[in-house]
A and B are shown apart, each in its own frame.
Chain A
Amino acid sequence: MLVIGIDGATWSVITPNLKRLQNFARLIREGRAGTIYLKHKPLSPAVWCSMFSGKSPEEHGHYDFVKNGEIVKREDIKVEFIWDILDRNGVPVKALNIPFVVPPYNFNVNFEPVAYGLPIEEHELVEEIKKITEKSLEILKEEKPEVFIVVYTALDRLSHLHWGEPILVDYYEMIDQAIGKLIKFDDEIVVVSDHGFCDYEKAPIRTLPKRTPKGEIKGDHHPEAIVITKNVECEIKDPTDVFYCIKRKFLRD
């Protein structure tokens, strides 16, 4: 099974641009597309953590990259993730660039992220998409596990700073191309985002201040995330369903 996470991917950009986003279009055509309506605050660290631990934010207690002035680390979060459970049960699994912490977390993969997993400048964002795709292809070609999970974070940064600008669609296209390369290696696919995006002024909650040292924030998180599945039995309506979906398939409980 191949799980591709795209931080901040939203239907309001994908749907009107499907002619340019041919791999999204193909997946939607061949699989099932839907929306995850988040019941909790659309905070990336909390949602990614829920998605791969099967726990709600109240249960895992992880909301931010930084707590009391300190960077939160994997071992500070007292949960078992799907990769821990699969690995313990002998199911080959790898996870690349999972952004519930910074730098993003890797399991059974050696990977040095671009700019500590917090790319800001355009060349860093492009480099991140390229580097994650290259590493993913290396894994899928040479040592493909039963379950491979990978997350791209570039669209979130771009959407905060360039919401409503044409450049955003260019980056969606880059992600679309990357997805096209990865999905050739698996029949069972989940593509999922941690939250949607919308205009900063219309965002139901603000995750960032209006002005930051990198410039004015134009977009912010929306509680409607995307999900597309292909050849995957279960329905994903909540982030935790991703965890249960993988667990049920490989551990049958």
Chain B
Amino acid sequence: METKKIEIPAELYEKIEKRAKETGFGNVDKYVTFVLEELLRELESEEEEEYELSEEEEEKIKERLRALGYID
């Protein structure tokens, strides 16, 4: 797998390093990759979630359709 370097503040690196050791990841690279992948997956699934209409919203939409003559 091709890899690329990024820069992060030293203080943050130390915190991550500590956590990486505690969680058994061993090295910071693997830990950061794992955390970022998880975060991206979560964000993407949030974006994909279907927008559910509440009953109140459905009623408002029907009111507008009625006002425009689309439904009786």
Interface residues in chain A, defined as those with a beta carbon under 8 Å from any beta carbon in chain B? 64-66, 71, 74-75, 102-103, 108, 110, 115-116, 118, 120, 157, 160, 208-209, 212-214, 217
Contact = CB atoms under 8 A, between A and B. Distances in A.
Given A118-B64, A118-B65, A65 B70 contact: yes
Contacts of A110: 47
B51 to A, nearest CB: 8
Contact of A208 (B47, B51, B62, B70): B70
- B47, B65, B68, B71: residue with the most chain A Cβ atoms closer than 10 Å: B68
Interface residues of A: mostly helix, strand, loop or mixed? loop
A22 B61 CA distance: 35
B64 A66 contact: no
B71 A118 contact: no
Interface stretch (B4-12, B20-28, B52-60): B52-60
Interface residues of B: mostly helix, strand, loop or mixed? helix
A157 B70 contact: no
Contact of B68 (A64, A71, A212): A212
Given A71-B53, A108-B47, A102 B61 contact: yes
23 contacts: A65-B65, A65-B70, A65-B71, A66-B71, A71-B58, A71-B61, A75-B50, A103-B53, A108-B47, A115-B64, A116-B57, A116-B60, A116-B64, A118-B65, A118-B68, A120-B64, A208-B69, A209-B69, A213-B66, A213-B69, A214-B67, A214-B69, A217-B69
A75 B47 CA distance: 17
Interface of B: 47, 50-51, 53, 57-58, 60-62, 64-71
Contacts of A214: 67-69
- B53, B62, B64: residue with the most chain A Cβ atoms closer than 10 Å: B64
Given A66-B71, A75-B50, A108-B47, 17 more contacts: A65-B70, A65-B71, A66-B62, A66-B65, A71-B53, A71-B61, A103-B53, A110-B47, A118-B68, A120-B64, A120-B68, A212-B68, A213-B66, A213-B69, A214-B67, A214-B68, A214-B69
Contact of A212 (B47, B61, B67): B67
Nearest to A111: B51
Nearest to B60: A116
A208 to B, nearest CB: 4
Contacts of A108: 47
Top 6 nearest A-B pairs (CB, nearest first) are: A212-B69, A208-B69, A118-B64, A213-B67, A116-B61, A214-B67
